Structure 1
Amino acid sequence: MRTTLLFAAMMAALPTFAQNDSTNNRVTLSGSIQSDMLVPTGKQADGSHEDFRTNTYVDLALQSKYVDAGARFEYLEHPLPGFEKDFKGWGVPFFYVKGKLNKAELTLGNFYDQFGSGFIFRTYEERSLGIDNSILGARLVVNPFSGVRLKALSGKQRRYWAHNDAWVSGADLELSLDEWFHALQQSGTYLTLGGSWVNKHEKADDDLLMVDASHRLNLPENVNAWDARVNLNKGPFNILAEYAQKTQDPSFDNGYIYRKGYVAMLSGSYSRKGMSLLLQAKRSDNFSFRSRRSMTGTSSMINHLPAFTEDQTYALAALYPYATHPAGEWAYQAQLGYTFRRHTALGGKYGTQLKINFSHVHGIDQSEHGLLLNSEPLSTGQLQPVTNVPTYHTGVGTKGYGSSFWKWGGGTYYQDIDVQLDKRITRDFKMHLMYMNQFYNKTVVEGEGGMIHSNIFIADLLFNLSRDTKLRTELQYLTTADDDADWAFALAELSVAPHWMFTVSDEYNCGVTNAHYWQTYVTYNLGAHRFQLGWGRTRAGYNCSGGVCRYVPESKGFTLSYNYNF
C-alpha cells in the first residue's frame, strides 16, 4: 500500500514541478516515466502464478547554471519474467548532485562513465538486459587547459539492490593535440591521445578456495588496469588503436588463475558521400573485470568488451546472438556501405543502398602453463573444499596457461555474413531485403548445443497508403538442420498518423516444436505520452546488446506499456 501511495504522490507532483519550471528560467526540470506491465494468462513457463507484474521507472532531473540534481525511483516488487531472482524490490537506487564551476564539475552520488572504448571501465544502464552497474561515490571532471580533459572517480558499484564491497577508483586523461597545434587544424587533422587507470580494492573473502589439502588461495586485494589509445581523424579517414592490460585477478570467470589480462584493438574507417568502409580487429585474453570476483553473468562488470558483431533488430536474425567470451577471443569485423546513384543501371530512379557486413570470432591459443602456486598453507581446522570452479581452465592457483598472440585455438565461436539492400521501387513503395549466413557455437555461448549453421532470409516492405497511413510488413525465414531446425516469422504494422499503430506478428517453429508465438499490439501516441496494449506469447531465449546477453524465459498474457518524456 505504501508503495502505491508513494508512486501516486510522485505522479501527482509532476505537473506542479513542470508549472514551476515554466515560471523560473534558472531551473529546468526533465524526466521520464517507463512502466512495462504483464497480466499473465495461465501457468507461466517458470511455474509462477502471479496475477500482475511490472517493471516501473521514474527519472527526474533538475538543471541549473551551477547545480544539477537527479534521482530515479524503481518499482520491481513484482518484476517481469526473467527479473525475479535478483531484481525484486523497490526504492531509489540512483541519485546524484552535480556542482559546476568554470572548468570543473563534481558529482556526488550515483554516476555512469566510460574511459576510452570501455576496456577497463564502463558503467551504464540497459534495462532490457537488467544492467545498472552505476558507481556510488564521487567523480571530478576538469578541463584545466584547452585540449585537456581529466577525470578522477572513486566509489562502490551497484549490484541490483545493494553495492559490492570493493572500492573502484580510477583516472582518465585525454589530450586533443589538434587544439594545441594550428597546423593540424589547418590541415583538417584531429589527433587525440588518451590514457586511463583503474584500481579495484577487494578484500579476500573469508570463504577462500582450497588449492589442495593444505593450501588456500592467496587472493590479491588490489587489481590494477591501464589503457592507452590514439585516435586519428583526417578527412574521410579515421584510425583508432587501443591497448589495455590488467594485473593478476583470479576470479570465478577465469577459474581462479593468476594470469594477467590483455586486450588490443585496431579499427579503421573511411566515409564519403555514397560510400563507407569499416575494418576492425580485437584480441582479448582473460579480461573479465568485476568488482566482485565470485560473480558470473552480467552483474558486477567494471568494464565492457564490444562484440564486433552486427546488432541485429530482426527477430530471426537475432535468434542466435553472440555474447563476448570472457576467457578471450579474436574478433574481426568488416563492413561496406555503398549507394548506387540515381538514374544509373543499378541505382534506378531513386538510388539503391547496399550494405555488406562480415563478422568472425575465434578462440585464442590457450596452452598449458601451470607454474608456481599463489597460495598459502592452512592451519588445522581451516580446510575447505573447492566449489563452483569453471571447467574451461585448469590449474587453480597457477598462472593457468600460455598464449601465443597470433595463434588461434578453441575453434570458431561465431561468424556471419549478411547482405542488405534498400530500394525504393515507387514513391509509395520501399523494400529492405537481407540475407544472412550464420555460424553460432551454442556450446561456447550457452554451455551446450554444438555449432548451429543457419541461413536467414528477410523482406521488409513499406507501403504508403496515404499521406497519414503506412503499412509495413516483415517476412522472415531461418533454415537450419541444427537445434530446433527451421523458423518462420511474419509481421504486419499499420500506422495511422499521428496517433495510432496496430501490429500483429507470429514467430513459428516449423522444424521441431511447431510452436506459435503470436503478438498483437495497439499503440497510441499523444504528445509526449505513449501507450501500448498487447497480448501474446514470448519465446524463451537470449536478449543481447553490444555483446552482453541475458536469458529471458517464455511468458504469455496481456501487456501494457506507458512511456512519458518531459
Structure 2
Amino acid sequence: MKKKHLLPAVALLALPVCAQEMENDGHYNPSLSGSVQSDMLVPQGTQSDGSHENFRTNTYLDLNFMSKFLDAGGRFSYLDHPLPGFEKDFKGWGVPYFYLKAKFRNVEVTGGNFYEQFGSGFILRTYEERSLGIDNSLFGARAILKPIKGVRLKGLAGRQRRYWNYNHAWLAGADLELSIDQWVKALEQSGTYLTLGGSYLNKREGADEDGSVFYDATHKLNFPTSVDAWDVRANLQKGPFSLLAEYAQKTQDPSFDNGYIYRKGYAAMLSASYSKKGFSVLAQAKRTDNMSSRSRRQMNGSSSFIDHMPAFAYEHTYTLAALYPYATQLAKGEWAYQGQVGYNFKRRTLLGGKYGTGLQVNFSHIHSIAKNAHGLAGHAGTAGGRGTDGYGSAFWKWGNETYYQDFNVQLDKRLTRNFKLHLMYMNQLYNKTAVEGEGGKIRSNIFVADAKYQFSPKTTLRAEAQYLTTPNDEGDWAFGLLELSLAPHWMFTVSDEYNVGKTHKHYWNVLATYNVGSHRIQAGYVRTRAGYNCSGGVCRYVPSYQGWTVSYNYNF
C-alpha cells in the first residue's frame, strides 16, 4: 500500500518544477498553492488504546498547481502514530488524495480523487472534515458541462475512499441545475432568482461482497446489487426572502444501519428565511425515513457514508453548550424543526442603549417518526424485522420519542466603547439512549457569559464563564476561560472544564499561540474529557487524553 502511494507523491514533488518551466516558456502564468497542518502530542500515561507511545501526530501536506487549462494537486498524510481516537483504521501514511483537472470554455473534466455534493447532500455528499476523521472522497472521473446559459450538468463515476483503501461498490450519477432567471428577463429585472435541480445516483455493490448475512439458521438474505437514488429541488430568492424545497428517495437498500430491511428511503425538506438590516427569520422542517446510505452495506460508525442530512439543531461553539451534541438519526428516521429570530435594537433607544443591542432566539426540536411493523415474516422471522419491508410510516405522524430539543436566547451588548458582553441561556433535552444507545434522557440548563475588553488596539482580554446544571448523567459542569490577545502575533489561553456533579475532575488547557505571516504555531498542555466531537450532525467519539501539544499551520 505504501509503495502504491509513492507514485503520486513523486508527482506532487514535481509540480513546482513544472510550474517554473511553464512560466519560463511564457505560455501562461501558473501558480502553486498549498498548506501544511501538523498536530502533535506528547501524551502522559497510558493511552486509550493501551499503548505508551511518547509521540503522536496527524500531519498533512496539500499542494495545488493551477493554470489556464490544467490543474493538479494532492495531499500527503502521515498518521503512522496518530492522535488519540484515530488509532483504529487511520494509522498509516501515503498520498490518499490526488487529481488532474482539465479546463476548457464550457467543460471541466477531473480524474483521480474529488469531492462532490448534489443539492443539499441528500443522496450524495463527499467531503473532508479532519476533526471528525472524515475523508470520503471519490476516486474516478467527473465532468462538469455548461452547454448553454443557465444550465449546469455534472456526471461522475467512481469508488469511495475508506481510510487507506476504497470500498468495492461503484457509484455513478448525474446532477442538473437550471437557472430559470437567466432565461426569463422579467425575473432577472425584478431581482428574482429561481433555480431548479435534479440528481440521480446509482450504487452497484456485489450481492455477497462482505460475506453472507443470514435471515435464519438456513436462509441467507438476497441483497440488491443495484440501488438507485434521486433528488429534486427548487430554490427561490427575491430580495431578503429565500425559499428552498427538496425531496429525495432511494430504492431498497438493506444494510447494517437499518437492520437489513427492504424498505425504501425518503427525505423531504422545506427551508424559508428572511433577512434585512437588523432583522432575520429562519424556519426549517425536515423529515427523513430510512435514508442511511453507505458504499459498503455492512459498515457502521462514521465511515463510508454516501449521503448527508443536516442536523437542524443549532451548532454550538461554547464548550458546555456543545457537551451533548446531536447526531442525525439517518436509519431511524426523524422529524426535525428549527426556528431562529434575530433582531438588533437600534442605538439610542430604550432597549438599544448607547451602542445598540442584539437579540437572537433559537429553537430546535427533533422527534421520531411513527412506525407500524409489517411485511412477510417467513417461517422463522419476525414481522417488521430482517428480510422484510420493515415498517410502514404515515408521513405527518410523529412517533413516541423526542430525540433532541434546544431552546436558547442570546444577547449581544456593548456596554462601553471597549467592553462587549455576550450572554446566553439554553434549555436542552438530549435523548442519550436514542443517539448513543444508552444513558436515558438528559435535561439541562446552560448559562454562558462571554466578555471582551479591549485595552488598546493591540491588546484584548476575553473571559468566558459557563455553567451546566442537570440531575442526569454526570451532573453539573463548570467552565472558565481567559484569553489574552497581543496583536498581531501572540495569544495566551487558559481554560478549565470541571465536573461538579460526580467525578470532580478538572480538565485544564494552557496554550500559547504565535502568528507570523502565513505561519501559526500553538503549544501548551491539554487534558481533555472523553466525549463526542460533532459537526453538521455527524459525530465521532474522542477518548480522554492529556499531554503536551504543538500545532503548526502554514498556508502558501
TM-score (norm 2): 0.95
Match of 1:462 in 2: 452
Q: Runs ≥4 in structure 1, deviation > 3 angstroms?
A: 8-25
Distance 1:301 1:435, change over 3 A: same
How many Å apart are 1:466 and its aligned residue? 1.3
How many Å apart are 1:20 and its aligned residue? 7.8
Give the alignment of 1:187-266 within 5 angstroms.
187-205=190-208, 207-266=211-270
Give the alignment of 1:15-94 within 5 angstroms.
26-94=29-97
Q: Do the aligned residues in 2 keep the contact of 1:370 with 1:399 (CA within 8 Å)?
A: yes
Once residues 517 and 218 of structure 2 are traced to their aligned partners in structure 1, the CA distance between those partners, rounded to angstroms, is 69
Once residues 72 and 36 of structure 2 are traced to their aligned partners in structure 1, the CA distance between those partners, rounded to angstroms, is 17
The equivalent position to 1:329 in structure 2, one of 334, 345, 354, is 334
Q: Do the aligned residues in 2 keep the contact of 1:34 with 1:58 (CA within 8 Å)?
A: yes
In the alignment, does 2:118 pair up with 1:128?
Answer: no
Q: Do the aligned residues in 2 keep the contact of 1:21 with 1:28 (CA within 8 Å)?
A: no
The equivalent position to 1:317 in structure 2, one of 300, 316, 321, is 321
Once residues 219 and 208 of structure 1 are traced to their aligned partners in structure 2, the CA distance between those partners, rounded to angstroms, is 9
Per-residue CA deviation, residues 38-77 of structure 1 (Å, 9 max, x unaligned), is 0011223442211100000000000000000001000000
The equivalent position to 1:168 in structure 2, one of 145, 151, 171, is 171
In the alignment, does 2:354 pair up with 1:364?
Answer: no
Distance 1:142 1:18, change over 3 A: closer
How many Å apart are 1:19 and its aligned residue? 7.9
Match of 2:107 in 1: 104
Once residues 411 and 22 of structure 2 are traced to their aligned partners in structure 1, the CA distance between those partners, rounded to angstroms, is 47
How many Å apart are 1:11 and its aligned residue? 12
Q: Do the aligned residues in 2 keep the contact of 1:46 with 1:553 (CA within 8 Å)?
A: no
Once residues 506 and 20 of structure 2 are traced to their aligned partners in structure 1, the CA distance between those partners, rounded to angstroms, is 49
Name the aligned partner's letter for residue 290 of structure 1. Answer: R
Once residues 519 and 45 of structure 1 are traced to their aligned partners in structure 2, the CA distance between those partners, rounded to angstroms, is 19
Indicate the SS of the match to 2:328.
Answer: coil
Q: Which has the higher contact order (CA 8 A, sep 6+)?
A: 1
Match of 1:506 in 2: 496
How many Å apart are 1:518 and its aligned residue? 0.2
How many Å apart are 1:536 and its aligned residue? 1.9
How many Å apart are 1:366 and its aligned residue? 1.2
How many Å apart are 1:10 and its aligned residue? 11
Once residues 181 and 133 of structure 1 are traced to their aligned partners in structure 2, the CA distance between those partners, rounded to angstroms, is 39
Q: Do the aligned residues in 2 keep the contact of 1:104 with 1:141 (CA within 8 Å)?
A: yes
Per-residue CA deviation, residues 491-534 of structure 1 (Å, 9 max, x unaligned), is 00000011000000000001100000000001000100000001
The equivalent position to 2:180 in structure 1, one of 172, 177, 184, is 177
How many Å apart are 1:270 and its aligned residue? 0.6
Once residues 492 and 194 of structure 2 are traced to their aligned partners in structure 1, the CA distance between those partners, rounded to angstroms, is 49
In the alignment, does 2:535 pair up with 1:545?
Answer: yes
Once residues 441 and 17 of structure 1 are traced to their aligned partners in structure 2, the CA distance between those partners, rounded to angstroms, is 55
**Aligned pairs, number:** 549
Give the gaps of 5 or more residues in structure 1: 376-384
Indicate the SS of the match to 1:217.
Answer: coil
In the alignment, does 2:352 pair up with 1:347?
Answer: yes
Distance 1:84 1:180, change over 3 A: same
Once residues 167 and 535 of structure 2 are traced to their aligned partners in structure 1, the CA distance between those partners, rounded to angstroms, is 24
Q: Do the aligned residues in 2 keep the contact of 1:21 with 1:29 (CA within 8 Å)?
A: no
Q: Do the aligned residues in 2 keep the contact of 1:372 with 1:399 (CA within 8 Å)?
A: no
Match of 2:430 in 1: 440
TM-score (norm 1): 0.93
Once residues 328 and 336 of structure 2 are traced to their aligned partners in structure 1, the CA distance between those partners, rounded to angstroms, is 9
Indicate the SS of the match to 2:181.
Answer: helix
Q: Pick which of 450-459 and 9-18 moved more.
A: 9-18
How many Å apart are 1:13 and its aligned residue? 9.0
Give the gaps of 5 or more residues in structure 2: none
Indicate the SS of the match to 1:426.
Answer: coil
Q: Pick which of 23-32 and 449-458 moved more.
A: 23-32
Indicate the SS of the match to 1:141.
Answer: strand
Q: Do the aligned residues in 1 keep the contact of 2:12 with 2:73 (CA within 8 Å)?
A: no
Indicate the SS of the match to 1:178.
Answer: helix
Match of 2:549 in 1: 559
Per-residue CA deviation, residues 118-150 of structure 1 (Å, 9 max, x unaligned), is 000000000000000100000000000100000
Once residues 139 and 456 of structure 2 are traced to their aligned partners in structure 1, the CA distance between those partners, rounded to angstroms, is 52
Per-residue CA deviation, residues 166-194 of structure 1 (Å, 9 max, x unaligned), is 00111000000000000111111111100
Per-residue CA deviation, residues 340-393 of structure 1 (Å, 9 max, x unaligned), is 0111111111111111110000000111112366x9xxxxxxxxx99xxxx9x9
Indicate the SS of the match to 2:88.
Answer: helix
In the alignment, does 2:143 pair up with 1:153?
Answer: no
Per-residue CA deviation, residues 236-282 of structure 1 (Å, 9 max, x unaligned), is 11110000000000000000000000000001101111101000100
What is the aligned-residue identity percentage?
67
Distance 1:10 1:166, change over 3 A: closer
